[in-house]
Amino acid sequence: MADHLLFPGGVHPKDGKSISFSMPIQSAPLLEEYTIPLSQHIGTPAQPIVKRGQRVLKGQKIAEATDNISAHIHAPTSGEITSVSKHPITGEMLAMTNCIGPAGHMVSSLVITSDGEDKEGFTLMPIEEWQSIDKKILLERIKEAGIVGMGGAAFPTHVKLNPPQGKRPDTLIINGAECEPFLTADHRLMLEEPEKIIEGILMMKYILGAKTVYIGIERNKPDAIKTMKKHLREGIEVRELRVLYPQGSEKQLIYALTKRKVRMGTLPMEVNCIVQNIGTAFAVFEAIVMGKPLFERITTITGEPVVRPGNWRLRIGTSIGDALKMAGGVKDPEKVGKILIGGPMMGLAQFSLDTPIMKSGSGVTLLNKDEIVQYTSVPCIRCGRCVDVCPMNLMPSTMSIQAMKERFDLLEEWHVMDCLECGCCSYVCPSQRPLVQLFRLGKSHVLKKRQRELEKLKAKG
């Protein structure tokens, strides 16, 4: 039994996974055009290394990481570069850019018009006997393949697998919880590619030198648990988790599996743990054994309004509109209330069907109007429900008032930067207050303040 594999707080939102979990992964048809954002990861945006009018091949590097915390980007198909922008991400409109990012602002991008031939141009040679290869070579391969965390955070994987000197993680945790409602991409991947996932996990275990590996999977995926256990290798253990959102969040998953507490303001490596996603393990396998860069991912297209919900292998740069066409469109456009990149708890609402799928895009979720909660400005009634469910042991009720009063200095003191933005507090709030939105606003002000302070220190020399 897994009753002890829990963390403080959490909620049980509508599952919604039955809509798509039984649908096998389908390969998306080749599209005429792909819009590829230059910032698909945490850190510095990649810089284009191609020119307008240049011909490229599938898998060819088209944008290069310019900093350690960054990631290369590769072409999803062969064709011609028809638009290039070198501008950084900004909240303003950008010349030569027609890409709206998932967060709603204009994003620097490359546009590839397909030639219809889909010719490969992989430059990474397959490594079959990886066990005898120097770990640094494998890390470099992961970096060259442009792999980032596929669970949503999109942190460059080569950085995460290369802890600072003096840090020696002894436990590698693989996140197969997929706790976000409606999304089933990882579930299907575990059912259809278990051997490749396990091989990718072994590669990461080898690189880290970890002694213990746990694959955490929630109980609502019994077929995935059974399949993964059937393909286990020495040193890897599958552990069943109670179904509780946000079970798949990094710090919560670590506590559930190891009872190690990651203190506020610190990283998992402080408790000798590293967390990677199921999709990331699969991408690592493909990069090392097949020499395949990360230019496509498994994405769930789901929701009651969708005609044919399911899971697709989408190429990076596929627009939401094209993804929905693959799923047969919507049953009744008049009833669609919201389109999300991601799931209903942490997904970002979209106002354009031109928004492209990125490396972190695990799902496109459509909700009917009657499924949407309209936020209000009703005062907090001090019921304490948000405090009970907060997985980070924060005080959302108090923090929301601080944000509304623009006391961002107090918000920082009350640890707003540790907020996961998981939505548990908003989910249970009887006053339907926009708590997560208030905390995002607070975070942006805290970050701006810290940036100003950093610039002042640099100016002083």
Domain ranges of the chain: 125-289, 385-460
Confidence of residue 396 (pLDDT cuts 50, 70, 90): very high
Question: Per mean pLDDT, which of 5-9, 44-48, 55-59, 152-156 is the most reliable?
Answer: 55-59
**Can you read off the two tokens belonging to residue 146?**
């442009």
Confidence of residue 105 (pLDDT cuts 50, 70, 90): low
Residue 281 CA, distance from chain mean position: 14
Confidence of residue 93 (pLDDT cuts 50, 70, 90): very low
Question: Which neighbouring-strand residues pair with 245?
Answer: 11
Q: How far apart are CA 313 and CA 109, in angstroms?
A: 21
* Contact present, 19 and 301 (Cβ < 8 Å): no
Does residue 92 surpass a pLDDT of 70? no
* Alpha-carbon distance values, 65 to 78, 155, 417 (Å): 21, 13, 26
Cβ-based burial of 219 (10 A; exposed 0-12, middle 13-18, buried ≥19): middle
What does the angle CA 371 – CA 377 – CA 383 come to, to the nearest 5 degrees? Answer: 85
Find the range with the poorest average confidence among 149-153, 238-242, 309-313.
Answer: 149-153
Q: In the 8-state DSSP scheme, what is residue 126?
A: P
Q: How far apart are CA 78 and CA 122, in angstroms?
A: 11
Q: Which CATH class is domain 125-289?
A: alpha beta
Helices 194-208 and 278-289 pack at an angle, to 10 degrees, of: 80
Phi, psi of 210 (to 5 degrees): -70, 145
Confidence of residue 241 (pLDDT cuts 50, 70, 90): very high
Predicted local confidence at residue 87, as pLDDT: 33
Q: How far apart are CA 375 and CA 394, in angstroms?
A: 21
Largest CA distance in the chain: 62
Q: How far apart are CA 208 and CA 169, in angstroms?
A: 7
Confidence of residue 389 (pLDDT cuts 50, 70, 90): very high
What does the angle CA 10 – CA 13 – CA 15 come to, to the nearest 5 degrees? Answer: 125
Tell me the torsion sign for CA atoms 87, 90, 93, 97.
positive
What average pLDDT does the segment 343-370 reach?
A: 93
Predicted local confidence at residue 81, as pLDDT: 95
Half-sphere exposure of 246 (CA within 13 A, CB side): 20
The CA radius of gyration of the chain, in Å to the nearest whole number, is 22
Predicted local confidence at residue 97, as pLDDT: 43
Q: How far apart are CA 231 and CA 321, in angstroms?
A: 37
Q: How far apart are CA 179 and CA 219, in angstroms?
A: 11
Does residue 210 surpass a pLDDT of 80? yes
Does residue 103 surpass a pLDDT of 60? no
